[in-house]
Amino acid sequence: MQSWIKCNSDCSWSKEHQNQGIGWISRDATGRLLWAGAQRYRGMGSPIETEATALKWAMQSMLRLGYTQVIFETDSMVLARMISGKEPIWPKLNPIIQEISHLLSTCRSYRVEYYSRDGNKSAYRIAKEALSFMNYVPKLYSMVPSWLKQIFEVDVPMLRVNNDVGPIPFG
């Protein structure tokens, strides 16, 4: 049986330059990198749309990579509340939230939770790095890139116990 893993996602959004970066990082319960992804975007309408796109891509990637028990963390409380049905979905986000909801219904061992930016530093650094990419081709990493090492080592997950699912990586 696969143990639970954690996948953080985040974005970097610049209205003045019309560029966005999205990133995600997945780790096992010991904090070891499993996979990370980075992509540069252009022309997204808002930070929350970019956050939702980052989360959707992280979920699609984990599914394609065969991970079935994943806690997805976003530092957007509004997005997490929309996904959980605790807040109305903004019309512009409806197609993205529908896809996220579909992934959650398909993979019943997927969960989306809010977690503060303090526990999301690696995903944010990946999203910031994506802004420097010269093209819009998504990049996947199975090893920690040199530009991420310093933050990755400080951003070590800590475990907490949730009675429903057992140990869950955090950090």
Could you tell me if 170 and 6 are in contact, meaning their C-beta atoms sit under 8 angstroms apart? yes
Rounded Cα distance, 157 and 45, in Å: 32
Alpha carbon distance 67, 71 (integer Å): 11
Q: If pLDDT is split at 50, 70 and 90, which confidence band does 127 have?
A: very high
Band of residue 116 on the pLDDT scale cut at 50, 70, 90: confident
Distance between CA atoms of 72 and 101, rounded to whole angstroms? 13
Segment 68-80 shows an average pLDDT of 95
Q: Which residue has the higher pLDDT, 45 or 84?
A: 84
pLDDT value at residue 154: 81
The pLDDT confidence band at residue 164, using thresholds 50, 70 and 90, is: very low
Q: Is the pLDDT of residue 171 over 80?
A: no
Q: What is the DSSP letter of 45?
A: S
Q: What is the DSSP code (8-state) at residue 169?
A: E
Residue 148 confidence (pLDDT) above 50: yes
pTM reported for the whole predicted model: 0.89
| Cα–Cα distance, 139 to 109 (Å, whole number) | 26
- Torsion-angle region of residue 145: left (phi > 0), alpha (psi -120 to 50) or beta? beta
Distance from C-alpha of 161 to C-alpha of 168, rounded to nearest angstrom: 6
pLDDT at 168 over 50: no
The CATH number that domain 5-163 falls under is: 3.30.420.10
d(CA 49, CA 92): 8
**Residue 139 burial (CB count, 10 A):** 16
In this predicted structure, what is the pLDDT of residue 157?
Answer: 53
**Residue 159: which H helix or E strand, with range?**
strand 158-162
Residue 121 half-sphere exposure toward CB, CA atoms < 13 A? 14
Average pLDDT rounded to a whole number, residues 99-121: 92
Domain ranges of the chain: 5-163
